[in-house]
Structure 1
Amino acid sequence: MNRSTVDVTFVVGYLAVAIGLLVARSNPATTYEPSIYTGTPMITWVTFAVALAIAVGMALTCRGREQALGIGLGAITVTGIVSLPVIRNYRFAGMGDALTHLGWTRDIVAGELAPHELFYPAIHSIASVFHYAGGIPIERALLFSMVITFVPFLIFVPLVVRELTGPSMAIGAAAIVSWMVLPINNIATHMGVHTNSNALFLAPVVIFAVFAYLRRRATIERLPLGLSPFSLLVVLSGIGLLLIHPQQMVNIVVLLGAISSVQYIVRRRSDDHPILDHPTMYAHTIVLGVVFGLWALSNERFRDALLILVVGLLTEDVGSGAEVDQRGSSLTEIGGSLGELFVTMFLESAIISLIVGVFVLLVWLGRTRLAPEAKSLVNYLAISMVPLTGMFVVYFVGTPTMAFRQLGFIAVLLTILAGVAISRGVGTLSNYVSRPGGTAIAALGLSICLVLGLMTVFASPMIYDPGQHVTDQKFSGYESGFEHADEDLPHAGMGYDPYRYDHGLNGVEGDGTLSGATVDSGTVDSEAFEDGDYADAYNGIDYYFIMTQYDITRELGVYQELYYSEDTLEEFERSPEANKVISNDEFRMYVVSSTE
C-alpha cells in the first residue's frame, strides 16, 4: 500500500470516528435506556465499525508512524465507546457501588470526609478536582474519572509489549486485544464508577514500570542515594494503584514476589542466564508489601472484608456452588442457560486464554524462537499466574465476587501475553500460507473477538442484566421520596434496595441505620407480593414501596415475569392498601398500609 493510499485510509478512519461521536453527542438519552447499545444511533456504530476495521488492519500490517496512527485510531474509537454515557449526557451510570462512591465524593466536596480517611480515595479525589475546577456536577465528574482511568490501559498495554519484545506485529496485536477490554466481565468488574475495575486499567502502568526497570540501565540519570528513576517509578505507580483500589495493588505485590522468587532461584542454580543481568525486585516487593500492610491493617473496611473471606472459607453456605445453581435454574426458567451466557460473556476471553496457554507451554518446552531476554520476561508473567490463580481459587471458595475481580487482573496479564502469542502464531502460520495470508487470518480472528468483547463492555439485556442508567427523573423521585417521607416508615424496593440512592444523594457519612444510609430500607418479599399480600410483603409493617422503570424493565422484560408479573403490578395499583405519593415517568412511590 503506497503512502497516499495509507493517508487517505487514515483520513477515512478518523473522520468516521469523529462523525460517530458527533452523532452520539447530538442524540442524548432522554429517558431510561436498558441498553446503551440500542439507545445509541445506528450510524454511530457503523462509523465506529469502519474506524475499528481500519485500525485493526493498520495495527497489524504497518510499522512505525503508520502503526502508531492505526493504534491511536483504535484507541480513540474504543475510548469513545467507553465514554458513551458521558457523550450521550447520562446523568449517572451505576446503581450499586457507583452510588456509594458518588456519596463519598459528595462527602469529600462537603467537607464531611477527608480523602485520606477513605480506603481508596483516588477516584473520588479526581472527581472532586473536576467538580471544583470545572464547576461540573459531581455525577458527571465521576463519569469523567472513569474515562480518565481507562485510557492508560489502551496506551500502556502496547508499550509493555514493546518493552517485552520488539516485533511490530506483537505490539499491534496487543493493542487490538486491549480494545476487547477483557478485564470487564460484568459479574464483579464493570465499566463504570467501580474503583476495583478502574484500578485494573492502571495495572499495565505498573507493569510497564517494572519492565522498564528490568530492561533499562539508568547509569547516567541516577537519583540521590543511588536510586534508579525506574525503581522509583515502580514504587510510585504501585502506590498510585493502591489509592485507586488495594486489591489490585495486592496482585502487583504478588507479581513482584513471583519475579523476585524466579530471580532468587536462578541466581542460586545458574551461572549463565539472561535473568542474571536483571536488577533484583526484592526491595520493591518488600516496600510495596509493607506500604500495603500499613495502609490496609489500619482500615476497618479491609479488616471486615478479610473476616468475610475467612468465614466464607470455613463455612459451607458461603460459596459459589449454591449461587451458580440458583442462577442456572433461573436462566433456564426464562429460556436461557449458563452455557449460552458463558459464550456471550467469555468466549473471546476463553479463545485468548487458550492461545496464551499454548504459547506459554511452547515457551517452556523450548519450541519458540523468542529471544532469551523476551523469554525471561514472558516467564515472569507466566509464572506469576500460578499464585494469582491460586488466589482466584481461594476467593472462589470464600467470596465468589472477589474471585471474578481476581479474574479481571489475570485478564490484564493475558492481554499483554496475547500480543506476543499472536505474533508468534502468525509467524508460524506464515510457514504454511503467505505472510499476508497469515496476517489476514489473524486480523479476521481478532476482529471477531473484538466485536464479541465490545458487545459486553456495558451491561445490557443481552446478558440478562439491564443497563444501570440513572436518569434525572429517577434521582428526582428518590430525592423527593427521602426528603418528604415519614421517617418512621422504611423504603422497600422491587428487588433493589433503595439505600444506595440514599448514599448517592445524601452521602455515606451519616448516622443512619444501614451502611451509612439515613433511611431504613430493604426489598419486598416477591412471593408474598405475587400472592397479593402487599402489606405483609415487608415484615408486616407500613412501608414505602418504590418502583422504577429499571425495575419494570428488569422484572417484566429481562426476567420475563419470573419474580413479579405484570398482572400483579396492575392489581397492586388498584389495591386499597397502596396509595401513590410520588410519580413521574421513571419513578413511583407508594405508601403500603399493613393489616395490623
Structure 2
Amino acid sequence: MKRATVNGALAVGFFALAIGVLFARANPATAYEASVYAATPGGVWVAFALALSLAVATTLGCRGRFQTLGMALGALTVTSIVSLPVLRNYRFSGMGDALTHLGWTRDIVGGELLPHELIYPGVHSLGIALHFLGGIPLERALLVTVVVLFLPFLIFVPLIVRDVTGTPAAVGFAAIVSWMVLPVNNVATHMGIHSNSNALFLVPVVVFAFVAYLGRRSTIERLPFGLSPFSVLIYLTAIVLLVVHPQQMINVVVLAGAIAGVQLLAHRRLDDHPVLEQPTMYAQTVVLGSMFTVWTMANERFRTAFVNMIEGVFIEDVGAGAEVDQRGASLAEIGGSLAELFVVMFLDAAIIGIVAGLFVLAVWLGRTSLDREAASFVTYFGIGLIPLGVIFLVYFVGTPTMAFRQVGFIYVLLTILAGIALAHLFGGLSGVITRPGATTVAAVFVGALLVLGLATVYASPLIYSPGQHVTDQKFSGYESGFEHGVDDRPHAGLGYDPYRYDHGLHGLEGEETLSGATVATGEVDPEAFEAGNYSGAYHGIDYYLVVTEYDVTREVDVYQELHYSEESLAGLQGEPTADKVISNDEFEMYAIASDE
C-alpha cells in the first residue's frame, strides 16, 4: 500500500472519528433511552463505522508507524463508543450496583465513610478525584471513571503480545480483538460503574508486569532487599487491582501460581528450555497471595460473600442450571430462545475462545512456528486457564453470577492468546493464497466479530435487557418520593426494588436513608397486580407504588407483558385506592391504600 494512500486513509479515519464524537456531543439524551445504540444518531454510527473499517485495514495491512496509528484510531473509536453515556450527557447510568457505588462515593465525600472501610475503594476514590479536580458532579465523575479504567485494556493487550512475540501481525490482531471487549458479557460483567467489571480492564496491566519481569534477565539496577524494578512493578500494579476489586486479584494470584508451578516442573524435569533462564515467580506468588489475604480477611463483607458462595455449592437447586432453565422458559414465553440469545451475546466470544484454545493445543503439540521463548508464555497462560476454569465450575454450581464474572477474567487471557493465534492462522493462510488475499479475509473475519462484540458492550432490548439510563426526571421523582413520603410507608416497584435509588441519592451510612430509618422497600406481587388487586399487591398494607419509564419499557416493550401488562398499569388511573402523588415525564408514584 502506497504511503500517500495510507496517509489519506488515516486522515479520513481520524476526521470521521472527530465528526462522530462532535455529532454525538451535539445530540444529548433528552429522555430515557432503552438503547444507547438506537438513540444515538445514525450519522454517529456511520462515522464510527468508517473509522473502525480504516483502523482494521491499516492495523492488518501496514507495519511500523502506520500500524501504530491504525491501532490508535481503532482504540480511540472504541473508547468513544464506550464513552457515549458521557458524550451524550447522561445524568447517570446503572440502576443496580452502580447506584450503590454512587451512594458509597457520596458517603466518602460527606465524611461518613473512610475509603479503606470499603473492600474495593478504587473506583470511588478515582471518581472523587475527578469530581474535585474537574469540578463535575459525582454522577458524571463516576461515568468518566469507567472510561479512564477501560483505556488500559486497549493499551496493554497489544503491548503484552508485542513483548511475547515481537511480531507486528500478532500485535495488530491482539489490538483488534481487544476492541471486541470480550470480558463484558452483560450477565455478570458490564460496561458501567461496576467495580468487578472495571477491574477486568486493569488485569492486562498486571499481566504486562508479569511478562516484563519474566522477559528481562538482567540483574542490574537491583533495589534493596533483592528486588528488581520489575518485581516492584508487579506489586504496584497488583495493589491498584486489589483496591479496585479483590476478586480479580485472586485470579491474578492463581495465574501467578500457575506460572510458578510450570517453572517448578521445568526446573525438575528439563535441562534446556527458555523457562529455565527466566526469573522464577515463587516469591511474587507468595507476596501477591499475602496481599490478597491480609486485605480481604479483615473485611466482613468479603467473609460473608465467601460463606454464601460455599453454601450455594451445597444447596439444592441453587446454581446456574436452575437459573438457565428459568430464563429459557421466560424467553420462550415472549418468543425468544436461549440459542438466539447465545448467538447475539456470545458467538464472537465462542469463536475467539475456540481459536485461542486450538492454538494453545497446537503449541503444546509442536505444530506451530512459534519460537520456544514465546511458546513458554503461551504455556503459562494456557496452564493458568486450567485452575481458573476449575474456579468457574465451582462458581457455576454455587453462585452463577460469580461464574460469569470468572468468564470475564478468562476472556482477558483469551484476548491475549487470540491475537497470537489469529496471526498464525492467517499467516498460514497467506502461504495458500496471496498475502493481500489473506489480509482481506482476515479483515472481513475480525470485522464481523468486531461488530458482534461492540453491539453488546451496553445492554439493550437486543439482548432483552433495556439500558439502565438514569435521567434527571427519574432522580428528581425518587428524591421527592423519599423526601415527602410518610416515614413508615414502604416503597415498592414493578419488578425492581427502589432501595438502590435511596443508596444513590442519600448514601448508605446516613440516618436519613431508608435503611437508616428501617423503612421497607420491595416489589409488588405480579399476580395480584394483574388481577387488579392493587391494594393487596404488597403484603396487604399501605404502600407507595413507583412506576418509571424504564419499568414500562422493560415490562411492556421488552418482556411483552410477561409479568405486568399495559392494561393493569392503565387500571391505576381509575383505581379509587390509588392516589397519584408525584408525576413527571419519567416517573410516577402512587399512594396505594390497603383494603383493610
User: Do these two structures clear the TM 0.5 threshold for a shared fold by scoring above it?
Assistant: yes
User: Is the 8 Å Cα contact of residues 183 and 411 (structure 1) preserved in structure 2?
Assistant: yes
Counterparts of 1:15 and 1:347 in 2: how far apart (Å)?
Answer: 32
Which residue does 2:510 correspond to in 1? 510
Cα drift, residue 512 of structure 1 = 7.9
Given that 2:318 and 2:399 are in contact with CA atoms closer than 8 Å, whether structure 1 keeps it comes out as yes
Query: Counterpart of 1:304?
Result: 304
Give the corresponding residue for 2:187. 187
Task: Measure the CA separation in 2 of the matches of 1:47 and 1:541.
Answer: 54
The answer to whether 1:587 aligns with 2:587 is: yes
Q: Deviations over 1:319-345 (max 9, x none)?
A: 122211111011001110000000000
Q: Does 1:376 align with 2:376?
A: yes
Give a deviation string over 1:413-442, Cα, whole Å, max 9, x none: 010000000000012112211111111111
**Residue in 1 aligned with 2:102?**
102
SS of 1:536's equivalent? coil
* 1-structure distance, mates of 2:559, 2:548: 15
Deviations 1:417-469 (A, max 9, x none): 00000000012112211111111111110000000000000000000000000
Counterpart in the other structure of 2:334: 334
After superposition, the Cα gap between the structure-2 partners of 1:117 and 1:516, relative to the gap in structure 1 and judged at 3 Å, is farther
Is contact 1:508-1:517 (8 Å) kept?
no
Residues 458-483 of structure 1 show CA distances to partners (whole Å, capped at 9, x for unaligned) of: 00000000000000000000000000
How many residue pairs match? The answer is 596
Report the 3-state secondary structure (helix = DSSP H, G, I; strand = E; otherwise coil) of the residue aligned with 1:287: helix
Tell me, in whole angstroms, the C-alpha distance in 2 between the residues paired with 1:184 and 1:516. Answer: 34
1:577 aligns with 2:545: no
Q: Partners of 2:541 and 2:461 in 1: how far apart? A: 34
Aligned to 2:67: 67
Q: Secondary structure at the match of 1:263?
A: helix
- Match in the other structure for 2:78: 78
Which residue of structure 1 lines up, in the alignment, with residue 469 of structure 2? 469
Aligned to 1:127: 127
| Counterpart-to-counterpart distance in 1, 2:271 and 2:515 | 57
Q: Does structure 1 residue 434 correspond to structure 2 residue 430?
A: no
Note the alpha carbon deviations across 1:108-138, whole angstroms, 9 max, x for none.
Answer: 1111111111000011001111111221100
Using the TM superposition, give the Cα deviation of residue 222 of structure 1 relative to its aligned residue in structure 2, in angstroms.
2.2
Q: Which residue type is aligned with residue 530 of structure 1?
A: E
Deviation, 1:510, is 3.4
- CA offsets per residue over residues 153-194 of structure 1, 9 Å max, x none? 000000000011011010000000000000000000000000
Aligned to 1:211: 211
Matched letter for residue 288 of structure 1: L
Cα offset, 1:518, TM superposition: 6.0
1:511/1:518 contact within 8 Å kept? no
Shift of 1:235: 0.9
1:424 matched to which residue of 2?
424
Q: Aligned partners of 1:551 and 1:25: how far apart in 2? A: 27
Q: Which residue of 1 aligns with 2:10?
A: 10
* Corresponding residue of 2:292: 292
Please name the residue that 1:481 is paired with.
Answer: 481
Q: Is the 8 A contact 2:112 2:510 kept in 1?
A: no
| Correspondence for 2:413 | 413
Structure-1 separation of matches of 2:359 and 2:519: 54
**After the TM superposition, which of the residue ranges 468-477 and 162-171 deviates more from structure 2?**
162-171
- Find the aligned partners of 1:519 and 1:7 in 2 and give their Cα distance: 63
- 1:59-108 CA-partner distances (Å, limit 9, x unpaired): 11111111110000000000000000000000000000000000000001
Q: Is residue 506–residue 512 contact of structure 2 (8 Å, CA) maintained in 1?
A: no
1:157 equivalenced with 2:157 (yes/no) = yes
The TM-score, its normalising length taken from structure 2, stands at 0.99
Does the 8 Å contact 2:182/2:415 carry over to 1? yes
- Point out the more displaced range, 322-331 or 488-497: 322-331
The answer to whether the Cα contact below 8 Å between 2:217 and 2:277 also exists between their aligned partners in 1 is: no
Q: For residues 478-501 of structure 1, give each alpha carbon's deviation from its aligned partner in whole angstroms, at most 9, with x where no partner exists.
A: 000000100110000010000000
Paired residues of 2:312 and 2:318 also in contact (CA < 8 A): yes
Structure 2 vs 1, CA of residues 152 and 540 (structure 1 numbering), >3 Å: closer, same or farther?
Answer: same
Give me the whole-angstrom Cα distance separating, in 2, the residues matched to 1:353 and 1:320.
21
Matches of 1:517 and 1:183, distance apart in 2:
39
Counterpart AA for 2:269: R
CA distance in 1, matches of 2:103, 2:129: 16
Contact 2:27 2:41 in 1 (8 A): yes
Task: State the one-letter code of the partner of 1:510.
Answer: G
The one-character-per-residue Cα deviations of 1:508-534 (angstroms, maximum 9, x if unpaired) are 113589766864200000011001111
Distance in 2 (alpha carbons) for counterparts of 1:376 and 1:486: 66
Paired residue type of 1:320: A
Following TM superposition, by how much is the alpha carbon of 1:226 offset from its aligned partner in structure 2, in angstroms? 2.6
Range that drifts further, 95-104 or 433-442? 433-442
Amino acid at match of 2:13: G
- Cα distance in structure 2, aligned partners of 1:219 and 1:50: 48
- 1:516 & 1:396 partners in 2: Cα distance? 35
Give the SS at the match of 1:341. helix
Find the aligned partners of 1:206 and 1:490 in 2 and give their Cα distance.
46
Contact 2:502/2:514 (<8 A) preserved: no
Partner of 1:459: 459
Q: CA deviation at 1:370?
A: 0.4
- 2 CA distance for matches of 1:259 and 1:515? 46
Q: What are the equivalent positions in structure 2 for 1:339-350 lying under 5 Å apart?
A: 339-350=339-350
State the distance in 2 between where 1:169 and 1:53 align. 17
Distance across 2 between alignment mates of 1:457 and 1:493: 27
Q: Does 1:222 align with 2:222?
A: yes
Q: Which residue of 2 aligns with 1:50?
A: 50
SS of residue paired to 1:417: helix
Letter in 1 for 2:295: W
State the secondary structure of the residue aligned to 1:416. Answer: helix
CA contact (8 A) 1:482 1:519 kept: no
CA contact 2:94–2:192 (8 Å) conserved in 1: yes
Where does residue 362 of structure 2 map in the other structure?
362
- Aligned-pair identity (%): 65
Q: Distance in 2 between matches of 1:573 and 1:175?
A: 54
Q: Which residue number corresponds to residue 565 of structure 1?
A: 565
Residues 257-309 of structure 1: per-residue CA shift (max 9 Å, x gap):
00000000110111111100110001111001011101111101101100111
Check conservation: 2:502, 2:513, Cα contact below 8 A.
no
The 5 A counterparts of 1:519-534 are: 519-534=519-534
- Tell me what 1:545 maps to: 545
> 1:224: how far off?
2.2
Q: CA RMSD in A?
A: 1.1
TM-score (norm 1): 0.99
Counterpart residue type for residue 429 of structure 2: L
Letter in 2 for 1:42: G
Report the CA distance between 1:217 and its aligned residue. Answer: 2.9
Distance across 2 between alignment mates of 1:557 and 1:321: 27
> Which amino acid in 1 is paired with 2:485?
A
Measured in 2, the distance between the counterparts of 1:283 and 1:27 equals 53
CA offset digits 1:338-384 (Å, max 9, x no partner): 00000000000001011111111111111111000000000000000
Distance (Å, rounded) in 2 between the aligned partners of 1:436 and 1:228: 44
Moved over 2 A (4+): 217-222, 510-519
